[in-house]
Structure 1
Amino acid sequence: HTYYLWHILRKVIEKLGSHGQYKCGQKSKLLSCVYDSLTIEEFENSWKSLNDTFNLHKNAWLQSLYAEIEFWVPVYLKNSFWAGMSTTQPSESMNAFFDGYVHARTNLKEFVDQFDNALKKKVENENQANFNSFNFIIHCISHLALEKFQDVYTNTKFKEIQQEIMGMIYCHCRFKKMDGVIATYSVDDQVKVEDFIKEITYTLYFNEAECEAKCVCGLFEMRGIIYRYIFVIFSAKKVRELPEKYILDRWRKDIKRAYTIISTSYDVVDHRPETVRYKCILRTFNEVITNAVSCDEHTEEMISNLYTMNEVWRTSKPSNTDSNVGGSTVNAVTK
């Protein structure tokens, strides 16, 4: 799990505001330490400098935060996948989830009832979004072969990809060195922070043998979509085949989600053909499992037969979308 950095930093003025040097660079240095550190070493050095400069070694609040830095400091979290969640923003999605359903005076019984209603509405919205992803085309904004992303991504994620493509115009790529099959680049970016533009330089590594790009920012690892910096490197290297590892199953619209055919108290799809078939197969499958586990031979035979049947059905099932994804690569970077 992780803590919301937004909630933590809201308390800065409360915990440090009375400090004599709060308005003399203390707050800005703390924020820079948290947000601008790209490596753990950078953060540790910056944190030490903050404590030394403003004599904060005995500040109980700061020291308690430091004891749990792996739960809230971005540089400690960037190698974990957070599915788009951010420690830097308040829990807006959760607040939006209950908008119109609960309020400060909602009692427990009303909350339970309204929770089911909110879940039902969430399912309806997801179904509508899925329908839109398959039936509405978003126009491309560049000559990059984004259509390949649109073939497999939901519209929501495709729009995020487009934002990254547009962000490439603010990036400048410079080759630094070659070490075996690893090329090192610097990418300068201009990031808008409130009312001013902040210039940031990132280091990226490109493995030519594996066609793999990695940025010290760790944004792909954290959020699961390709960021502008990787696009810039792929464009510079004239990469035409994007490895499928950059297309996460989580964001794909051409993969059937198992949970969508499971009956729930808030769903109204109990009589859909897929749901009825799912229940029927599940009942039969439970009986088969009970008989198969009686010995190793039966278990192995069952697993082997299931793999064989699944391969036949996987390759022969009707497709909901004309996807251009195949093998291990996707044409998704340049024409």
Structure 2
Amino acid sequence: MEGKKPEYIITDQDPGIIKSVPLIFKTARHRFCMWHIMNKMPSKFGVSRSDYNDFMCKINDIIWDDELEVAEFNGIWEQIIEDHGAGVNDWFADTYAIRGQWVMAHCRDLRMTSIMRTTQRSESENSFFKRFEHKSVTLVEFWMRFESAMDQQRHTQKQLDNMDKHSSATASTHLALEIHTAKVYTYSAFQKFKEEAIFSIDSCRTGGFTERGELEVTTVKDSSTKKNFEVTYSPALTDNTGTRKASCSCTMFERTGILCRHIIWIFSASGIKTIPEDYVVNKWMKEYLRLRIFNSNGEGTENMQVIDEKQIAMSIMWYLDSICDQQMYGFLCPEIISQIGYASDEAVTILSKRMKDLKRKFYIAPYYDE
């Protein structure tokens, strides 16, 4: 990771992990998976209780709400627990005591916390890679199957990149900021920004203005949430690139990487027509700078392309053989494929193509079709 340490780590509540994380990742904040905790809550409360549905509905409303302030969450939680008599259960008291490690309202200060809330992403990766491996394979077989899985992920990424490159989004407002993001954001990110842009016009109004040194602090009234938010804005240029600084008490940009309606309102009122560079997150851009990656030999690869054609062909054969084996065709075995790896590049390529022809003949699930 080029020496970059994680800002926070999300795991389940395994006792061994709880002890190990602060010892190994001394500067990271350890968070608990929200899904794992919420999955235990029904049994702790009692699914047979008459007020079960009402309780779970109220709890879910505040647990997953990343716009609640800390004091708001604490007050509502305590009221719900009292109203439903859940305070007698020690599990709820213990879970509330560690709320700073899992509740959204208590993690608003962490970057991209609205995106990373559970271990679902790692679990989905586990599920994905299980399609390519078996517990009985050798280390060499595992590595080749892993490369095959990575090839498929890269192929999917290229498809998404191509869609973003050739698709066009349409702005819903007259705001220059929205027109700008339609050109530079991915389709999914632009849809989120568009929603905020519409709300900025329909729901936001200025409720007050003060100056704090070189900063301007504007109270923005948001009729959609019936709350007031403070936007701190620096109208002067802050560096040589001309970047202007702004922050909002709703912390949406910090949590999601998308500008909130309140900052959009202030930027638009200030005549800013393009989003300042500091507020365009690479993750949401169509054309963003990919970090350099390396193959198994430590050699740099460009644009996520695997340079070794023989390695690609071997990966395809590992995948096709596993599929054939599952469908009881099994025309190759792992030992044979391992030996093929020592053959010439030309021989491996020819065999790989013939295996794909057999795959089509037997109506095996499509993969690497040319």
- Asked whether the equivalents of residues 173 and 233 of structure 1 are also in contact (C-alpha less than 8 Å), the reply is no
Match of 1:305 in 2: none
Give CA deviations for 1:141-184 in whole Å, capped at 9, x if unaligned: 43333443344434443344334435557x51233222322111
Cα displacement (A) at 1:247: 0.9
Residue 306 (structure 2) aligned to one of 269, 273, 283: 269
Give CA deviations for 1:223-248 in whole Å, capped at 9, x if unaligned: 11223343344345554453322112
| 1:85 alignment partner, SS class | coil
- Asked whether the equivalents of residues 231 and 262 of structure 2 are also in contact (C-alpha less than 8 Å), the reply is no
Cα displacement (A) at 1:208: 4.0
Change (3 A) 1:43 1:224: same
| 1:129 alignment partner, SS class | helix
* Cα distance in structure 1, aligned partners of 2:125 and 2:172: 30
Instruction: Specify the code of the residue in structure 1 equivalent to 2:258.
Output: I
- Asked whether the equivalents of residues 129 and 146 of structure 2 are also in contact (C-alpha less than 8 Å), the reply is no
Instruction: Specify the code of the residue in structure 1 equivalent to 2:63.
Output: V
Indicate the RMSD between aligned Cα atoms, in angstroms.
3.8
Q: Are 1:9 and 2:9 matched, yes or no?
A: no
| 2:86 alignment partner, SS class | coil
Cα displacement (A) at 1:86: 4.1
Instruction: Specify the code of the residue in structure 2 equivalent to 1:16.
Output: F
- Asked whether the equivalents of residues 171 and 182 of structure 2 are also in contact (C-alpha less than 8 Å), the reply is no
Residue 183 (structure 1) aligned to one of 206, 218, 231: 218
TM-score (norm 1): 0.61
Q: Are 1:225 and 2:258 matched, yes or no?
A: yes
Match of 2:281 in 1: 248
- Asked whether the equivalents of residues 226 and 246 of structure 1 are also in contact (C-alpha less than 8 Å), the reply is yes
Q: Are 1:124 and 2:158 matched, yes or no?
A: no
Give CA deviations for 1:1-56 in whole Å, capped at 9, x if unaligned: 23332332233221102686734853344334434572112222223333444443
Instruction: Specify the code of the residue in structure 1 equivalent to 2:43.
Output: E
Instruction: Specify the code of the residue in structure 2 equivalent to 1:117.
Output: S
* Cα distance in structure 2, aligned partners of 1:4 and 1:203: 31
Residue 80 (structure 2) aligned to one of 26, 30, 50: 50
Give CA deviations for 1:273-305 in whole Å, capped at 9, x if unaligned: xxxxxxxxxxxxxxxxxxxxxxxxxxxxxxxxx
| 2:289 alignment partner, SS class | coil
Q: Are 1:65 and 2:95 matched, yes or no?
A: yes
- Asked whether the equivalents of residues 38 and 216 of structure 1 are also in contact (C-alpha less than 8 Å), the reply is no
- Asked whether the equivalents of residues 231 and 263 of structure 2 are also in contact (C-alpha less than 8 Å), the reply is no
How many residue pairs get aligned? The number is: 258
Match of 1:40 in 2: 70
Change (3 A) 1:50 1:85: same
Runs of 5+ unmatched residues, structure 2: 1-8, 11-31, 236-243, 310-370
Which residues of 2 match residues 161-200 of structure 1 at below 5 A? 161-166=193-198, 171-180=202-211, 181-189=216-224, 200=225
Match of 1:234 in 2: 267
Identity %: 22
Match of 1:328 in 2: none
* Cα distance in structure 1, aligned partners of 2:51 and 2:307: 60
Change (3 A) 1:263 1:115: closer
TM-score (norm 2): 0.56
Change (3 A) 1:202 1:118: farther
Instruction: Specify the code of the residue in structure 1 equivalent to 2:205.
Output: R
* Cα distance in structure 2, aligned partners of 1:264 and 1:271: 11
| 2:175 alignment partner, SS class | coil
* Cα distance in structure 1, aligned partners of 2:36 and 2:262: 29
* Cα distance in structure 2, aligned partners of 1:143 and 1:51: 47
| 1:242 alignment partner, SS class | coil
Change (3 A) 1:205 1:241: farther
* Cα distance in structure 2, aligned partners of 1:152 and 1:18: 48
- Asked whether the equivalents of residues 170 and 182 of structure 2 are also in contact (C-alpha less than 8 Å), the reply is no
| 1:126 alignment partner, SS class | helix
Cα displacement (A) at 1:81: 1.3
* Cα distance in structure 1, aligned partners of 2:220 and 2:59: 29
* Cα distance in structure 1, aligned partners of 2:269 and 2:291: 39
- Asked whether the equivalents of residues 202 and 216 of structure 1 are also in contact (C-alpha less than 8 Å), the reply is no
Instruction: Specify the code of the residue in structure 2 equivalent to 1:14.
Output: S
Residue 181 (structure 2) aligned to one of 144, 149, 156: 149
Q: Are 1:257 and 2:290 matched, yes or no?
A: yes
| Structure with larger RCO (C-alpha < 8 A, sep 6+) | 1
Change (3 A) 1:113 1:58: farther
Cα displacement (A) at 1:108: 5.4
* Cα distance in structure 2, aligned partners of 1:53 and 1:67: 19
Cα displacement (A) at 1:66: 1.8
